[in-house]
Chains A and B, each alone.
Chain A
């Protein structure tokens, strides 16, 4: 594998890892605050992508071909903004209608997890039954440009995806450290009993968590659509489960963990496939991708049960 090809794969891996990382963020934030594995999160990503698709198609159709047509950057901005807001609304609604009542009734945590699974199924099949099984082609909001530098070619979209996800992570980390709501979120994830007693409005914080997690998933959805152009009702399932695993491998509840776990999974997956093309490694067919990546993750979790950044809390006896 030459350096050029290696860099090529590296960029692919970083783009692929960005999606995992952005979705993993949503898992990790909700988990931190509620200790809930929000299994519907992968489908929120799907919902975000579809909402983005409809907004973009609508805006593109508006006065198309005439002088009234909106400039593409306006469409892009409106699509991202609209999708993030609406998807955040979906996320908060789910928490308000399905999770909070269960929580208030003191249901076992696992019943919440099952409810989350059901919400995920509901979203998938609501999409399938109302929009049909045909995939949707996501419009090209950002005209693709290909650059070639020293034998490595890459698109502007790839750079945007990677850049944006890094900016989002840094922004989120700052949000959690500098703002009042962010500090309250960290406080709740640290102590679920005492913090509410200190006058922190727990339900508001939880809602804020869902707003951030869902809107980031929507952002990931639009970027995914822009990068791969294909949307389907089940696009969130596998990527969602894998992102969750990435979040845990990184150390769930940790922003850095979501990022590292997401990128790590992206690297493993891309390089298993890439390695299969290298002479001497032909036996490593691309169908081994899941097998290898999950085995590596299993080994990591066996060695470090709380993930890479997760800190084991010693139980008081």
Chain B
């Protein structure tokens, strides 16, 4: 059996993107584009778990992103930067490099706990009613942050730039891009492996027929809790990464329904229940936003129209519920088939 090339391809991508950014072959603009691509992939793939695989309609993903963004950045700023509110750094800057991913994980865990706010109502409610609950949770999170004066309230939270600068002073590398890349790969791996396990296929059974799933011994509540917490936690990871972007600030206004809508668009554009579709559409959508940037405000007239037309031509998204390797069997050499990716895991 031939080993799939996928790990090699991923490694190569990592070297090209990170190396290129390090050596300044990619200028700051392109680094930013890569950063947003990575973050959008995490957001899209994670939301696909709920809106695609489980067939629920969560429209508050940005709320969980916000939880992760604030928790992670408060931690990093408190620990590694001089700050008006939190005072001098608690730990030496050198520790920032190994502890940054820990802060990301804590942010993700906080977001996944916030995910319980929609996981528990989902036991009794589904469809459009659950959609409202996710919507309300998005507003509640945003409004709660706006009312926390000590972290800047509606004006937002700053200081992450100093954290990133301190890290770069200790050792100069595109740290954020590195962690975004790793976070993205981990996200894809987690979601892919979960939904292709028999345990995780319970998620799809819930979408197809929840009552039958429960009666065929699937513990639907447990599966829902896992799926929602996983999805929200990964959104929190994306938020934690996003909070450290070169702009150096976050504010509650970033995490509105509009942001949630953007993620939903990427999910449905790629295809419900297709991870490769999500990745393609996240990359494509990020690029589209950049290409149309010269249009200014007019961009947001063109993009919705483009999307509406695309929906009319492909009412199931780019890939439907198939994966890229189903559409182009030759790609199996890279991705490996189901059985082969099994073998891959045992290395």
Contacts and interface: CB of A to CB of B under 8 A. Distances in A.
Contact of B315 (A111, A129, A252, A291): A111
Nearest to A246: B132
Nearest to A104: B315
A305 B311 contact: no
A294 B139 contact: yes
A297 interface: yes
Interface stretch (A69-77, A114-122, A165-173, A174-182): A114-122
B297 interface: yes
Contacts of B305: 118, 122
B265 A118 contact: yes
A114 B301 contact: no
Contacts of B268: 110-111, 114
B57 A118 contact: no
B311 A102 contact: yes
B51 interface: yes
Interface stretch (A50-58, A218-226, A282-290): A282-290
Contacts of A128: 297, 300
The listed residue with most A CB atoms (<10 A of its CB), out of B147, B211, B308, B312, is B308
A307 B129 CA distance: 9
B232 interface: no
A155 interface: no
**Majority-rule SS of A interface residues:** helix
A241 B308 CA distance: 21
Given A106-B315, A121-B304, A315 B132 contact: no
Contacts of A106: 315
A118 B133 CA distance: 21
Given A37-B131, A294-B136, A297-B136, A122 B121 contact: no
The listed residue with most A CB atoms (<10 A of its CB), out of B136, B143, B297, B301, is B136
Contact of B136 (A105, A117, A245): A245
A126 B301 contact: yes
B301 A291 contact: no
B139 A125 contact: no
A98 interface: yes
Contacts of A37: 128, 131
B129 to A, nearest CB: 5
A113 B139 contact: no
Nearest to B211: A317
Given A110-B57, A118-B304, A301 B261 contact: no
B264 interface: yes
A298 B133 contact: yes
B265 A117 contact: yes
A124 B153 CA distance: 27
A125 B301 contact: yes
Contacts of A249: 132
B305 to A, nearest CB: 6
Contacts of B29: none
A127 B154 CA distance: 26
The 6 closest A-B pairs by CB, nearest first: A107-B315, A125-B300, A118-B304, A291-B143, A122-B304, A290-B143
27 contacts: A98-B308, A106-B315, A107-B311, A110-B51, A110-B57, A113-B57, A114-B265, A114-B268, A117-B261, A118-B265, A118-B307, A121-B261, A122-B301, A125-B298, A241-B135, A248-B129, A249-B132, A285-B147, A287-B143, A291-B140, A291-B143, A301-B121, A301-B133, A302-B121, A302-B124, A302-B133, A306-B129
Interface of B: 51, 57, 121, 124-125, 128-129, 131-133, 135-137, 139-140, 142-144, 146-147, 153-154, 211, 257, 261, 264-265, 268, 272, 296-301, 303-305, 307-308, 311-312, 315-317
